[in-house]
Amino acid sequence: MKRILITGALGQIGSELTLKLRDIYGTDNVIATDIKKNDSEAARSGPFEMVDVTNLNQMVETAKKYKVDTVMHLAALLSATAEAKPVFAWNLNMGGLLNGLETARELNAQFFTPSSIGAFGPSTPKDNTPQDTIMRPSTMYGVNKVAGELLADYYHQKYAVDTRGLRFPGLISYVALPGGGTTDYAVEIYYEAVKNGRYTSYIDKGTYMDMMYMPDALNAIIDLMEADSAKLIHRNSFNVTAMSFEPEEIASSIAKYVPGFEISYHVDPARQKIADSWPNSIDATAAKEEWGFKFEYDLDKMTKEMLEKLRQKL
């Protein structure tokens, strides 16, 4: 990668990925785009353009202006929000992805977009979910992700676009607040631990979901994009994960550093239903074998750093 265009650059992943890529590839070589601008470091620290991903001409012209060789398409509506606005979610998630792929085809650029464990459904094997398995999601977000994986495969097979992707679990970060996902509780709980010493979870006890700390997720994106194309069998999208836990386990980890921390439950039926349709744990063997995926943070190491960073931030 030499010159990189990022859509959704001010979101949960983009706000950190933009800065990391600028450190590695040079400030002027990473073009952040989003539908609106804020005062975040990602928007201020280098090139920024207002881009609506549902506008193909706008995307293509911006990519041509900066002569990019890589498109990272992050703009999307997340699971819980998408379930509340399914038609809007389809138009944004699928229309935006199609435009991103067309932009990459037009410029003969490398292309990355994240998929999700949301692509799996109630009939998917729940434990150690394989890379290749039945995928019949029961949410609009999940339908978008499965269709997106297939569409990215299609663009690689038909047009030879170098498409790549990762099936992310829940992502945990102290930098940007999450934006309407089912796994958001695993971020909120750290904020509440620092501010109030207690947390009321909308996800029920005993509900296991895969998670990953943001620094590991960012490294995985870069490692995949820099991997030898000839070694990639799956391309779109690789299972990746670092840990799987239920709310009581993250609360116990926090209690090691916040004495007296308490968790209670007030279950949100809509998000609980989504969580129940997802795997308990997934198998990342293909990612390890094809491009050397690895992670650094387990639950306790992540908890220690999250609490330290949030105490400074808050």
Residue 79: the pLDDT is 86
Q: Residue 197's closest CA among 149, 236, 251? A: 251
Residue 178 has pLDDT above 80, yes or no: no
Count the alpha carbons within 13 Å of 152 in the hemisphere toward its beta carbon: 29
Residue 42 has pLDDT above 80, yes or no: yes
Note every long-range contact of 294-299, with CB atoms under 8 Å and residues 24 or more positions apart, other chains counting.
295/212, 295/213, 295/216, 295/220, 295/240, 295/241, 295/242, 296/213, 296/215, 296/216, 296/219, 297/212, 297/213, 297/215, 297/216, 297/242, 297/243, 298/242, 298/243, 299/243, 299/245, 299/249, 299/250, 299/253
Looking at residue 245, its amino acid is F
List the structure tokens of 217. 């997720």
Which stretch of DSSP H or E encloses residue 187?
Answer: helix 185-195
- pLDDT tens, residue by residue, 242-282: 999 999 999 999 999 999 999 999 999 999 999 999 999 99
Q: Is 5 exposed, middle or buried (0-12, 13-18, 19+ CB in 10 A)?
A: buried
Catalytically annotated residues:
141
Classified as helix, coil or strand, 59 is helix
Least confidently predicted of 18-22, 101-105, 176-180, 308-312: 176-180
Residue 180 has pLDDT above 90, yes or no: no
Looking at residue 156, its amino acid is H
What sign for the dihedral angle of Cα 281, 187, 84, 7? Answer: negative
Q: What residues contact residue 177 under an 8 Å CB cut-off, 6+ apart?
A: 12, 187
Q: Residue 247's closest CA among 289, 199, 296? A: 199
Q: How many whole angstroms separate alpha carbon 300 and alpha carbon 250?
A: 9
Residue 182: the pLDDT is 87
- pLDDT tens, residue by residue, 132-161: 999 999 999 999 999 999 999 999 999 999
Q: State pTM to two decimals.
A: 0.95
Looking at residue 214, its amino acid is M
Q: How many whole angstroms separate alpha carbon 137 and alpha carbon 117?
A: 10
Please state, for a pLDDT cut of 90, what percent of the chain lies above it: 96
